[in-house]
Structure formats: C-alpha cells, structure tokens
Homo-oligomer: A and B are copies of this chain.
C-alpha cells in the first residue's frame, strides 16, 4: 500500500509541499505533484498514479472539469479537497465520480486516514506469496507451504527471507543480511546468520544440504531463486 503512487494536485505551492510532507512522514515514497490541470494530464499520459488528491480550486481548469477529464481516461481513485462551506461541491464531486472529499483546513492525520481508506478499498490486498522450487512462502502469515503442510517461520528467518525475496534473483551480501537482523554492528554475527540460513533451508528446501532455492554465492552472499518472479 505504501508503494502506491500519490499524485497531489494543487495550485498553491505551500499546500503542495505540506501535503507531500504529510505522506512522506507516513512512509509513502512515490509522491508526484502537479500545479495545474495541464500538468495532471501530462503526468497521466505517462503513468497512472494509485490515487489523486485534487484541490477543487485551480487556476486554469476547475477541479470538477479536471475530474471529468480524468474520468474520461481513467478510473483512478480521486480525493477532492474542497474549501470550507462549499457544501454543494461535495455532491457535484461525488456525482462526477470522486471517491471522497475533505474540507480544508484538515488535520494531516485525517488526510492520511482517508487516503488509506480509499487505497484499501480500491486495491484489495494481494496475497504476498513467493513461490519457490519446492515450496511457497506466505509473507503475510510468515508460513512456508510445502506438500500442503504449513510451517511457521521465526522472526529472524522471516527477516532474512523477506530481504532475499525483496531482491529475488539478485545477490544479497552477508553484510546486508546481518544488518537487517542486528543493526549496524554486525561483525562476528556471520556465524549466527549461517545458522538461520540453515534453518530456513530446512523449511523451504527439499534437501537443505543441496539447496536449489536459497543459494550460496561463495564469497559474496546468498540469493533466492523464485519461480514466478514477484509482480
């Protein structure tokens, strides 16, 4: 959910940066801003954001017109920002296909909650399941599924696997792996990491001594071979 792109549309620079920082501090990374309807359409010609936060008051094209233009080409969810007291805006917006609205001024948290609610509704949870050669791993449940059997992963095993799956196919160095487990100072932890790797292999490999999914790359690190590459 955090990796959905958010497009913020407002003509006021201050508001744009404020909204951006609200999302950034909440952990969102993909935030684009646009100052006019023209810009929005230009952005959308290239890529489709996960949600649009749209201020009703715009210089070149009012928010409702823009909403119509957007709807003409995409079903992307839209949250409208309306000025206080413009009661009718709410209905006009909904009628044109806005997903929600928020009256200015608003609390940062309120904006976040609404956006999150919309994203949740619009993009139902995809199961985070990684398929390997002999087993599958359900990251949401921290379980390995092999021969219909479910085996739980421990916290460290989970962290290791998550990091490897994140970089599926690529080599992940021992240093990086150790850091995800015990932070900056990880020298001397390599031996422990090895033990966790072993346990992980016992859960996901047919033969943990002859791994085919969680491979050792001597001198460099480890890498995970996934069957259907993520995404």
Contacts and interface: CB of A to CB of B under 8 A. Distances in A.
A170 B91 contact: no
B169 A218 contact: no
Chain A interface size, under 10 / 10 to 19 / 20 to 34 / 35 or more: 20 to 34
As for how many copies of this chain the complex holds, the number is 2
A142 B87 contact: no
Contacts of A219: 154-156, 158
A153 B152 CA distance: 29
Interface string A182-225: 00000000000000000000000000000000000111100100
Interface string A46-84: 000000000000000000000000000000000000000
B155 A170 contact: no
Interface of A: 87-88, 90-91, 94-95, 140-142, 152, 154-156, 158, 167, 169-171, 217-220, 223
